[in-house]
Structure 1
Amino acid sequence: MAKPISAIEKQHPDPLEETSEALAEIGEKIANSREAVLKTLDILQEMQKSGVLDILYGLLKSREKVGTVMIEQINQPKYHHVIKNGFQLLATLESEQLETIFNAMKKGIEQLDQPTKKQQSLSLWGMMKAVRDPYINSALSMMLHFLHGVGKGLESQMQLKES
C-alpha cells in the first residue's frame, strides 16, 4: 500500500519568470493593437505639445476642489438647459464634420500665435485686400454659409411658432 501524503509543498513561481510572462502577454496585446496604440501615442504627444496634458494633470491634482466647484455650478437651474442643448447638438453632428471644424479651428488658433508684421489696426482697405487671400476667402465663405443655415433654422422655427 502507498504511503499517505502528509505534507503538500506549494510551488512558488519564480518572480523573474512571472515578470517575463507578463511582459510577453503585454507585448502580444500591443502588437495585436498596433494601430490603436500608435494613434493613442500620437494623441498624447499632441496633447503634450498643446499643454492639454499639463492642464489635465493640474485638474487631477486638485480634483476635489475642482469637482466641488463644477458640481455647484452645474446644479444651478440655468445650466440644465445649456447642458441638455449641448448634448443634443453634439448628437446631431457627424464625426467627420466635427473633425473638419476642429482641425480648422486648431489651424486658426495656431495662426493667432504668429506675430503680425505691424501691430496696428486694420483699415477697411486692408480688410478688402485680405479677402483676396484664398484662406481668408474660404473661411469667410464657410462662416457665411454657416450664418445662412442659422438664418434658415431660425426662420423655420418662427414659422412653426406662428402656426
Structure 2
Amino acid sequence: MAKAIRQIKWEEHNQADIQAQDLNEILNALAENKEAVLACIELVKGMHDLKVFETGGALLKKSDEVGAIAMQQINQPAVHNMIKSGFGIFKFLGSMKPSQLETILEGVTQGMEKMSQTVEKAEKESFWKMRKRLSKPEIRIVLTSMFDFLEGMGSAFLRSRVNNR
C-alpha cells in the first residue's frame, strides 16, 4: 500500500522567476508573429513621423477647450441642415429597390461616358440628325422616363405647396 501524504509543501515562486517566465512568453509571441509586429512598428513609426502622437497629446491636454469649440461648430445651423440632409439621403436610398438604383447609376455612368466622348469630338450635329436620333428606342425611353420623372416631381412640389399653406 501507498504511504499517506501528511505534509504538503507549497512552492513559492519568487518575483524574478515570474518575470522571467512572462518575458519568455512575450518573446515567443513576438517570434511567432514577427511580420505582424514589424508591420505594427512601421505603422507606429509613420504616425510618429506625421506627429500624430504629439497632436493627440496636445488635444488631450486641451480637451475642455477643444470640446467647447467642437460643440460651437456643431451647433451651427449649416451643420444641422447637413445632418438633416444626410438623413434624408439615407431615407431616400433606403426607399429605393437596389435593382432600381443599380439601373439608374449604370445609366448615368453610360450617359456620362457617351457625353464625354461627344464633348471630346466637339462635332456639331444638324437638326436633321437630331430629329433622326429621336426615333431611336434608347432616346425615346429616356425622354419618356424624363417626362414621367418631371410629372412625379411636379406632383410632389404641388402637394408640398398645398401642405405648407
The TM-score normalised by the length of structure 1 is 0.48
Larger radius of gyration: 2
The TM-score normalised by the length of structure 2 is 0.48
